[in-house]
């Protein structure tokens, strides 16, 4: 058996995230599942740690960023395990505790990944400390991002945005929204751009929150834009409409899809761990020296789920590692998202079945993890969309050629 171990720095990050999940997230997981829309007050301290506020804290953060830039320059041409790899390792461990609570940590939103991926140095300086959500989905547009109807037009030195966005994770709690909008509907996906919109921008209206099957600790909002105005330089990437390209907006998915895959990995691991613990009390012991043909049906099923889980984990780490090392990873990002999303759904539901009444009861968290895992196969692109992207890459087909 090949054992691909994490290097010491990533292992330290993994252990720290697991400690947070175990001590902070897991004890309040059920509480905020039952109290949907209530803000997890226990997480406020994490926002203070992550987001510098005083002048001295901001100077220290800037000094750390300069050190990081210098380190990145030294690492040019070298193989590195950077922020993306560390991020998926840490996210998986935190989601072992609770996905909804991980998504509720102040200052860490999906929109921050977009800013990190395609913002200019000046924009990163201006918005690097914000708490940014991502607004893509619309009432009539889901997986087909090219069909976005929210518009942005340039008037003088401002962009004017009109439209409605739904299913925005952290849409109420964030202070900034990264909004996908089209500059010219007739130009197709090439005209889709993303914009940094502060929550206090004139014309931005918070509509309400969704009631959900899972991730109930996380807020999911609807926001309307009615002649919402933002400065001209709040566009991420170039305003040029270049045919055959999504501009810089799709680079966001190359970073966020491995992150969502890591969420599914964390939930699936939690389910596997508790299932093994519950089954051991019933006399079901795993013996990895035995092959599946000499094991019970339950043992064989657990072995298969462990193997599927590890395959998803390794695919996810690879996609993040490629991003850290400036390698094109669009196909790998879709591969890990598709694999982890499907595996996460299967494992959490199968664990409910294997544990019978204990799995279905709210006495344990298995039923909650099964509910939480479903969305992880849907948002950031459904299973079907991911497989379509992989097929296009493998067959060297465009989106027009393979639909």
pLDDT tens-place values along the chain, 403 residues long = 445 688 899 999 999 999 999 999 999 999 999 999 999 999 988 865 445 555 565 566 566 656 655 665 665 667 777 889 999 999 999 999 999 999 999 888 889 888 887 888 888 888 878 999 999 999 988 777 778 999 999 999 999 999 999 999 999 999 999 999 999 988 888 899 999 999 999 999 999 999 999 999 999 999 999 999 999 999 998 888 876 565 556 677 888 899 999 999 999 999 999 999 999 999 998 888 888 888 999 999 999 999 999 999 999 999 999 999 989 999 999 999 999 999 999 999 999 999 999 999 999 999 999 999 999 999 988 999 999 999 999 999 988 899 8
Neighbours of 399 (CB within 10 A): 14
- CA 73, 78, 84, 88 dihedral sign is negative
Query: pTM of the prediction?
Result: 0.90
- CA 182, 186, 189, 191 dihedral sign is negative
**Where in the chain are all domains bearing CATH 2.40.110.10?**
132-236
Separation of CA 218 from chain center = 13
Q: Which residue has the tokens 């669009």?
A: 330
Please check whether residue 256 is in contact with residue 113, taking contact to mean a CB–CB distance below 8 angstroms. yes
Q: Is 354 exposed, middle or buried (0-12, 13-18, 19+ CB in 10 A)?
A: buried
**Where in the chain are all domains bearing CATH 1.10.540.10?**
8-127
Compute the distance between CA of residue 64 and CA of residue 130 in angstroms, rounded to an integer.
Answer: 17
Please check whether residue 92 is in contact with residue 269, taking contact to mean a CB–CB distance below 8 angstroms. yes
Instruction: Please tell us whether the domain made up of 251-395 is placed in CATH 3.40.50.300.
Output: no
Whether 380 is catalytic is yes
Tokens, residue 393:
């890459």
Among 164, 308, 367, 380, which one carries the catalytic annotation? 380
**Where in the chain are all domains bearing CATH 1.20.140.10?**
251-395
For 132-236, the fitting CATH number among 2.60.120.10, 2.60.40.10, 2.40.110.10, 3.40.50.1100 is 2.40.110.10
Instruction: Please tell us whether the domain made up of 8-127 is placed in CATH 1.10.540.10.
Output: yes
């Amino acid at each position: 058996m090949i054992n691909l171990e994490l290097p010491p720095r990533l292992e330290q990050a993994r252990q720290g995230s697991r400690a947070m999940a175990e001590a902070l997230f897991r004890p309040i997981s059920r509480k905020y599942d039952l109290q949907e829309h209530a803000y997890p007050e226990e997480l406020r301290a994490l926002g203070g740690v992550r987001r510098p506020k005083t002048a001295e804290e901001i100077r220290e953060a800037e000094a750390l960023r300069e050190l990081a830039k210098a380190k990145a320059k030294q690492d040019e041409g070298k193989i590195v395990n950077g922020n993306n790899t560390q991020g998926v390792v840490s996210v998986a461990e935190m989601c072992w505790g609770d996905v909804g609570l991980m998504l509720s940590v102040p200052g860490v939103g999906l929109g921050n990944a977009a800013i990190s991926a395609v913002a200019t140095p000046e924009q990163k300086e201006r918005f690097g400390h914000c708490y940014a959500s991502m607004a893509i989905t619309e009432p009539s547009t889901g997986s087909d991002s090219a069909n976005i109807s929210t518009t942005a037009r340039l008037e003088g030195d401002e962009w004017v945005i009109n439209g409605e966005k739904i299913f925005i994770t952290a849409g109420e709690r964030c202070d900034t929204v990264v909004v996908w909008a089209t500059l010219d509907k007739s130009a197709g996906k090439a005209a889709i751009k993303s914009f940094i919109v502060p929550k206090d921008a004139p014309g931005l209206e918070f509509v309400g929150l969704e009631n959900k099957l899972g991730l109930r600790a996380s807020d999911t909002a609807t926001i309307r834009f009615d002649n919402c105005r933002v400065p001209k330089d709040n566009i991420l990437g170039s305003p040029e409409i270049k045919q055959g390209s999504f501009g810089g907006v799709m680079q966001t998915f190359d970073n966020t899809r491995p992150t969502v895959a890591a969420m599914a990995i964390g939930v699936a691991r939690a389910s596997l761990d508790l299932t093994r613990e519950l089954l051991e009390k019933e006399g079901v012991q795993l013996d990895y020296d035995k092959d599946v043909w000499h094991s019970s049906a339950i043992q064989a099923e657990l072995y298969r789920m462990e193997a599927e889980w590890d395959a998803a984990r390794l695919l996810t780490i690879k996609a993040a590692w490629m991003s850290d090392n400036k390698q094109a990873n669009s196909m790998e990002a879709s591969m890990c998202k598709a694999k982890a999303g499907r595996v996460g759904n299967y494992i959490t539901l199968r664990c409910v079945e294997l544990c019978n009444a204990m799995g279905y009861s709210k006495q344990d968290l298995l039923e909650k993890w099964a509910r939480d895992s479903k969305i992880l196969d849907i948002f950031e692109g459904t299973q079907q969309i991911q497989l379509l992207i992989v097929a296009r890459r493998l067959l060297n087909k465009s989106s027009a050629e393979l639909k």
